[in-house]
Structure 1
């Protein structure tokens, strides 16, 4: 069990890792870079996160938790949907708007872009990224199941994969890396995701 002090130290280390990734990029994302940013020795960092993959996993898990909390706060729904009632089109539209609003934060987008860049050449990080997207798809599949309960689970997962691909692709294309954003483009992203989730 982690002590309060240990938990606070983990938060500080994760904050430092995010700063490195979002301000200096993946080229400066070795354990020594994370430790230096946090003002600790590498051995101290490795006490909490033995490998870079462990640290990146914790960064992504925290990012996913924050996203789920924002979805819950903004919509009043459980992050996984509300199992006591069907998911309405209006519920889903609110969830999608919150997800797309996260893309307005360039630091958030940069965090993912830099982690994807590391994953392109580091199989351990790639495995962590696949694990993260497996969890993400799982949450979306639960939403699809709330909207279309009669479909088989494999179909819920397939539709969730398509929705995640659409939203994640939008994060890169709509960032300052890709094309300019437009209200019409956002409308089409939401319309397409709604159709996938609700089977329209």
Structure 2
């Protein structure tokens, strides 16, 4: 099998995993459930993703990569970081709008809710989730560094964690499960995040 076919097959398997997590709400899904959704034998799935943790890691890595690509497209920034760039408030506002739009996507919210539910009873998945959020914090901290290069790394990280908490919390509060989205609330989230990233 060529590398292209292998990559295509992996993408199909990840698509199937996302469907199981977002449409069935099955926090107890096992590899056999993901394999059945993809229409393959469990051994075929395990060729690419030996454990459920490996599969969830790949789903999260792909979600993060997609988000970074959307963000980089907005301001022309390298998705792998561009620490020497100056980030303007206008750049940051555009980035925040992209992030909040992701949080408004019911499929995206459901995917993360289901992975959180799995992580609550599976330490391997919890470790994968911590790894994912560690990467996410690192990317946001790089943006803070572009806006406030004088800050020490520990402060940039703390601000990144706070911005992430604000954005991630928005996904629940603004969802159909929460109170819903309001224009005033949206503006306040953006204003608060801008103040954190750029300094009041």
User: TM-score, normalising length from structure 2?
Assistant: 0.95
Q: Do the aligned residues in 2 keep the contact of 1:80 with 1:140 (CA within 8 Å)?
A: no
* Structure 1 runs (4+) greater than 2 angstroms displaced: 74-85
Matched, 1:107 2:98: no
Query: CA 1:120–1:28 in 2, change beyond 3 Å: closer, same or farther?
Result: closer
Q: Distance in 2 between matches of 1:149 and 1:84?
A: 9
Q: Distance in 1 between matches of 2:80 and 2:3?
A: 29
Deviation at 1:82, TM superposition (A): 4.2
Q: Distance in 1 between matches of 2:110 and 2:28?
A: 14
Matched, 1:195 2:169: no
Q: Do the aligned residues in 1 keep the contact of 2:103 with 2:167 (CA within 8 Å)?
A: no
Q: Deviations over 1:82-131 (max 9, x none)?
A: 44431111110000000001122111111111111111111100000000
Matched, 1:90 2:56: no
| SS of 1:172 mapped into structure 2 | helix
| SS of 2:99 mapped into structure 1 | helix
Deviation at 1:76, TM superposition (A): 2.4
Q: Do the aligned residues in 1 keep the contact of 2:27 with 2:117 (CA within 8 Å)?
A: no
Listed as ranges, the matches of 1:155-174 within 5 Å are: 155-174=155-174
Listed as ranges, the matches of 1:58-69 within 5 Å are: 58-69=58-69
Listed as ranges, the matches of 1:33-48 within 5 Å are: 33-48=33-48
Counterpart of 1:56?
56
Q: Do the aligned residues in 1 keep the contact of 2:144 with 2:197 (CA within 8 Å)?
A: yes
Matched, 1:29 2:29: yes
Q: Distance in 2 between matches of 1:86 and 1:127?
A: 33
Q: Deviations over 1:8-39 (max 9, x none)?
A: 11111000000100101134521110000001
* Count of aligned residue pairs for this structure pair: 200
Q: Distance in 2 between matches of 1:106 and 1:116?
A: 15
Matched, 1:148 2:148: yes
Structure 2: stretches of 5+ with no match in the other structure: none
Q: Do the aligned residues in 1 keep the contact of 2:83 with 2:142 (CA within 8 Å)?
A: no
Farther-moved stretch of structure 1 (105-114 vs 72-81): 72-81
Deviation at 1:45, TM superposition (A): 0.5
Q: Distance in 1 between matches of 2:53 and 2:4?
A: 24
Matched, 1:178 2:178: yes
User: TM-score, normalising length from structure 1?
Assistant: 0.95
Deviation at 1:75, TM superposition (A): 2.7
